[in-house]
Chain A
Amino acid sequence: GESVGLHLPTLSVQEGDNSIINCAYSNSASDYFIWYKQESGKGPQFIIDIRSNMDKRQGQRVTVLLNKTVKHLSLQIAATQPGDSAVYFCAENGDNQGGKLIFGQGTELSVKP
């Protein structure tokens, strides 16, 4: 279902450190997952996706891990930079209803220089 919350979880890291952002998804039928980055006042930006037949996928400085047993998704950012500061959302495709995505509540990442 929809995710609504008044307070975004926050994660504060030092520049150069690795960041791990976690997400618990809701629908065991979901077989496609996406991580988006949203900077203040902008639309979400696609980062990386993964299908349920994989448990790990790597991109440039980012890795997504999927644990279907516990319905958990994580995004790892290596060598975090100030430009990585944003809100990160995970999304799942749920029951594949016309391509709709279900968004998690988001995590605000703050990178300290």
Chain B
Amino acid sequence: GAVVSQHPSWVICKSGTSVKIECRSLDFQATTMFWYRQFPKQSLMLMATSNEGSKATYEQGVEKDKFLINHASLTLSTLTVTSAHPEDSSFYICSARRASGTGETQYFGPGTRLLVL
């Protein structure tokens, strides 16, 4: 159990275009999902917290108008990178929080590699 999927797994786009990444919890409901970005040889950097039915909460320094997050249902959150530029090239990973004994365990998706040309 606790499977999280992402789509697409990789995407190459031209500078200036927008890219949408989907994050789904396949076998559980996730009231909260998180979006991270990871550069090579670095740790995960939290971008935003996505709560079903409400606006996302963005971390300091993350532009909410550039990284649009929509948590439309208990199993789906989307991240749209608007007007992508080469510096947005990165590995984007989502996670979903499932109520468990601890209530805080996050399960991660496989990641989406974005390359902006």
Contact = CB atoms under 8 A, between A and B. Distances in A.
Contacts of A6: 41-42
Interface stretch (B43-51, B73-81, B82-90): B43-51
B106 interface: yes
A104 B49 CA distance: 19
B43 A89 contact: yes
A49 B45 contact: no
Interface residue range, chain A: 20 to 34
A49 B111 contact: no
Nearest to A34: B105
B46 A2 contact: yes
Q: Is chain B's interface secondary structure helix, strand, loop, or mixed overall?
A: strand
B67 interface: no
B8 interface: no
B27 interface: no
A41 B109 CA distance: 11
B27 to A, nearest CB: 15
A32 B42 contact: no
Interface in A1-47: 2-8, 32, 34, 36, 41-46
A98 B57 contact: yes
Given A5-B42, A32-B104, 8 more contacts: A5-B43, A34-B105, A44-B44, A49-B102, A49-B105, A99-B103, A99-B106, A103-B43
Interface of A: 2-8, 32, 34, 36, 41-46, 49, 51, 89, 93, 98-101, 103-106
